[in-house]
Structure 1
Amino acid sequence: MMTSDLNASVDAVENGKISALHMDTLVKRQTMPIQVGSKSSTHGDSSAVKGKSVEPQSVLSSNDEEAVPLISSSASSPTTTAVSSFEIEHEKYRKSSKKFHTGQDQYAIFGTKISKKNLGILCAFFNGFWGGSQTIPLHFSELKGLEFVISFAIGSAIVTLCMWILLFGYHLYTTKSLFGAYKALPSMHFRIMWFPGACTGLLYCTGLFSTILSITCLGQGVGNSLCQLSMIVSGLWGVFKFDEIRGFEMISKWFASAGLALIGILWLSHEHVGGASHR
């Protein structure tokens, strides 16, 4: 499928001319195999004369103002390609990722506008401060190690509930309506997200379990610092899988910074002497 066709389909979805689900339905209903260079076509009354190319098929939007191309074909290589809702959502993600790097999108929080990029940086600093302090209570607790996991889970559940309440309160403040605030909350998407969400929770809790054991054995300074290797792993996913860091220069700078952080972590690990020094 040509990139221009996919971009046109994505733009139609983003502009509200046609929904991704409706797009997928129309594709399955209207798109039929077309053989270029044959005497006839299986798509309605369309026909293709040998040696002539077939014009790309289109699906009209709901108001019939603009056609959304669905198929790209050429005389040299017969091709039939349907734009699925998954492809459209993936392309929308790539577009939003580019906007994130350019800082074009803005959010209005209690009347104050902040760019998507700056909001992400502020949240990252907030996470660094609170995330780096999340195991400090372990230092003062009488129970160490695995006994600490259950209380940690209870605290996480309480904070998650409080965050949903705060988010509902924010939308109630902006919409002045209980129903509007409820509709503005993020959808659970349980049928779609149950499996990836469960995998995410499993990976996170397994890593957290190891973090608590590491801090119990090595202490806050060394154990927690070694656990920050997770930043390098997540960065590698962003480089090689999700294409979030682009260009040779940016990727080179990222690897240089990651290498420097890795050297610091390994250097710090050699400073540990004896048992659990945090006690």
Structure 2
Amino acid sequence: MRFLRLGPIGAEVPVVSDGETFWSLLPLTADIDGAFLASDGLARAEAAALAGELPQVDPTGLRVGAPIARPAAVVCIGMNYAAHARESGAEPPSDIVVFYKHPNTVVGPYDDILLPPGSTTTDWEVELAAVIGTRARYLSSPEEALRHIAGFTVANDVSEREYQLQRSLGQWSKGKSFETFNPLGPWLVPTAEVGDGSGLRIWSTVDGEPRQDSNTSDLIFGVAEIVYRLSQFTVLEPGDLINTGTPEGVGLSGRFPYLGAGDEVRLGIDGLGEQASTVRAAR
């Protein structure tokens, strides 16, 4: 099953789909949020849909929003593919590199990316994203951590490199928290259907030209390991979003031009869908 949110910004309707039929989740929940996830909402929704207990929705012409309501936290892992670390000028890390994005960076998978005024170094980063389903605190192992993940989706960790690296004074979040800098979706797919998130092709293009093409098995720290390590110093709450890192092939490498107004960024992960955003100048 796929979970998504359809409708205008701020008025999205939670939906579950088997790929052909779409059912409204409004009889069960007002949104796909932390409370819904923590109450075993994904399994309850799937059962209700298959039992014919939910009204159908026609998705034709409806905007696709981010598949989860605005999270309380967007936790990001940096340099988590060895080749990307090296193209960024660093050796692969011995522990997780953590930074945060403002939750209001999260937008829909087909919404525009707004280019900050004067920016010439805005970059794309396709990432496997995990959504926390139940509170995770001082977990004992990665195996336990996997049970706290509700599901997976696709994220674009858009980055303004000048603000991230030259203006940051060591804090990457300056270059990560511009509006629209985290397109998310199109779907949330339950962990039961994805496993631990490994073995998935992950890719991106700009204006149809290949940029990134890798596999989530190449993550230095797998998703369960990330959640386990995060839980040792951060209490993760239901609905929190974790971006797990990007593979090589970004603009920072020097091999490709950075994004400009009018560019189309497409990216996807096997089994989790594809997204496409057009870059527009912020006004």
Measured against the shorter chain, the TM-score band is under 0.3
More strand by share: 2
Identify the structure with bigger relative contact order (alpha carbons < 8 Å, sequence gap 6+): 2
Structure of higher CA gyration radius: 1
More helix by share: 1
TM-score w.r.t. structure 1 length? 0.21
